[in-house]
Amino acid sequence: MARPNDEVAALFQEYADLISITGGEAFRARVYEKAARAIGGYHADVSTLDAKGLTEIPNVGKSIAEKVVEYIGTGRVSAVEELRAKIPAGVRRLTAIPALGPKKALVVYEELGISSIDELADAIHEERLRDLKGFGPRTEENILHGIALLKSAGDRVRLDVATDLAEDVVAVLSGVRGCRRCAYAGSLRRGRETIGDIDVLAAAEKSGPLMRAFTELPYVTEVIARGETKTSIRTGKGLAVDLRVVPPDSWGAALQYFTGSKAHNIRTRNLAVHQGLKLSEYGLFDVESGEKVVSETEEEVYARLGLPWIPPPLREDRGEIEAGLRGELPELVEERDIVGDLHTHTDLTDGLAPLEEMVAAAAERGYAYYAITDHGPNLYMQQMTDERMLAQRERVRELDRAHGKPGMRLLHGAELNIDPDGAVDWPKEFLAGFDLCVASVHSHFNQGRKALTRRLVRACENPYVNIIGHPTTRLIGKRPGLDVDLDEFFAACARTGTALEINAHPDRLDLSDEHILWAGRHGTKFAVDSDAHSVIHLANMRYGVGTAQRGRLTKDDVINTWSLTRLRRFLRKGRGTV
Ligand code: DGT
Ligand code: CA
Ligand code: CA
Ligand code: ZN
């Protein structure tokens, strides 16, 4: 379920937006933005803290703590309600368009009375926006692009939000009397980057008790449909959940059917037809006799079709049926194969937790090695200096000795900024002191295809750049990926021994599954990283691994499954061999 921390974080983010939109002071908006981030990333549940405990959260002062207490007690914050009442919700929705932002949203509302995304699109098509101060044809184009992106994301939700909810539903239903099996299926089981609705499946002789427990879940806001075999609900966040209850001996066929994808199911059903069989959610049947052949487990269903069990992330009809028939399915990388995290932050830059806490949490995950990669100085707001970086290195070395063999080893790195020309923050003498460097694009996203391609290729050619962080910089549903010649970029990674990151943050999942497949054809290596800015983000690793699986990656493709010795050899890159 969504943690109270996430609810409070969303509320303060909204409050910050409202302050900006209503012309409040910029620093006040920033205060709430910072508090939102800090609370979202805080390890303890805010609903269990008193005002004093709350002020121990970084960036949370007395007045913010009071608002949290008010929210936990009453479900609302009067200061937020006051600002909400001042503007239509449509204006706030406008701020979700990346090219617009709160200031411009207010301008279009006040000057043109626009309060919805559709009205805004109409105004652009009628060229009514370009005459406003601060707008022009280029702004119009960017806004249209942003609108298209928002619409394509539709009402789909982030993978982690859906996962938390689904795991809670499954846990509750599994405890209902008579429930023999329960699991989630659909796009969530396949690990897609966004989820339309959650499909939960349960096996029981009688469906009544399960359906009742399902509709009585505390976060149900609407029962969309109620039935003997299927019930659908909607939750507070607008996310819908379907529950289907099947007899225990149909479990395998039903799980196979409701896991999908639709395209994959069409293929399996055709395979059945060619063998005189019929495959449905009820089982695999012999067409002539009408008798059920198998259906208790997925393995049986696939085996009877002449296939090995196909891991759900592959079930998209992207060659998995052919590979399965030939016995050539890849052995996918799994979360337990990951032995380290190579891109993480601390409160030295924009992380929320101190080094010691991040390291302790990483050790608890059982990692063999862990890299600290705070931002370089070119991301100006981070105020990094050589001295601060070197001081951190000293502490990392000390901690490494303390954890040391046979425990977790620490690597000291940095996340460099790839500037518009493809250069990075420090000269090579300084870079040589790091165990590894991640390099990422954090600005100048719209340089144009040629310049961006050259920029990334040049970063790859830097012997100190080991990993390209969040390679396309897309934000799911919010910002499109860089317009880059991917073939040229991926070929450069392969040629230079630069790994591509699969950033596991559910807002990014960058590279995406399609891009991983593409890069894989060039023979590149990958690093699945959390890019954690707080302790709880370390657990996002699972979403990165799921994306890697959808990209058909094996353990050998992913450098943070390797031994430290093999990893260190890879990290030496073109720096002259020892
Ligand atoms: P979503 O919810 O949009 O993220 O994507 P899915 O894949 O979860 O799709 P959903 O919820 O509509 O259906 C769940 C699964 O049920 C789907 O992956 C395959 C199966 N399914 C649903 N409708 C059909 C259909 O018309 N034909 C076939 N073969 N399978 C279907
Ligand atoms: Ca679904
Ligand atoms: Ca569904
Ligand atoms: Zn980062």
Domains of the chain by start residue, with CATH: 4-153 (1.10.150.110), 157-246 (3.30.460.10), 266-325 (3.30.210.10), 335-572 (3.20.20.140)
Ligand 2 centroid, distance to 495 Cα (angstroms):
40
CA 494 to CA 474: how far, in whole Å?
Answer: 22
Q: Which of 159, 187, 259 should be mutated for ligand 1, with most atoms under 8 A from CB?
A: 187
Please report which ligand is nearest the Cα atom of 166. Answer: 2
User: For position 398, what pLDDT does the model report?
Assistant: 95
Please state the atom number of ligand 1 nearest to the C-alpha of residue 257: 20
Residues 6+ apart with CB under 8 A from 222: 233, 234
Ligand 2 centroid, distance to 166 Cα (angstroms):
11
Ligand 3 centroid, distance to 197 Cα (angstroms):
5
**Token output for 339:** 């032995």
Please report which ligand is nearest the Cα atom of 268. Answer: 1
Is 578 in contact with 572 (CB distance < 8 Å)?
yes
Positions in the chain short of pLDDT 50: 577-578
Is 545 in contact with 334 (CB distance < 8 Å)?
yes
Ligand 4 centroid, distance to 507 Cα (angstroms):
13
Residues 6+ apart with CB under 8 A from 314: 320, 329, 332, 549, 550, 552
User: For position 153, what pLDDT does the model report?
Assistant: 66
Please state the atom number of ligand 1 nearest to the C-alpha of residue 242: 11
**Token output for 378:** 């070119």
CA 191 to CA 549: how far, in whole Å?
Answer: 9
User: For position 405, what pLDDT does the model report?
Assistant: 67
Please state the atom number of ligand 1 nearest to the C-alpha of residue 265: 29
**Token output for 158:** 């982030």
Q: Which of 258, 280, 315 should be mutated for ligand 1, with most atoms under 8 A from CB?
A: 258
The pairing of strands 220-225 and 467-468 is unpaired
Q: For the sheet with 467-468, list strands across it.
A: 340-341, 369-375, 409-417, 436-440, 467-468, 499-503, 526-529
Residues 6+ apart with CB under 8 A from 225: 231, 232
Q: Which of 190, 198, 199, 200 should be mutated for ligand 1, with most atoms under 8 A from CB?
A: 199
C-alpha closest to that of 253 among 195, 219, 293: 293
3-state secondary structure of 319: coil
What residues does ligand 1 touch, defined as CB less than 6 Å away? 186-187, 192, 195-197, 199, 257-258, 260-262, 265-266
Ligand 4 centroid, distance to 76 Cα (angstroms):
33
What number of CA atoms fall less than 13 Å from residue 485's CA on the CB side? Answer: 11
The pairing of strands 499-503 and 467-468 is parallel
CA 240 to CA 230: how far, in whole Å?
Answer: 13
User: For position 2, what pLDDT does the model report?
Assistant: 61
User: For position 364, what pLDDT does the model report?
Assistant: 95
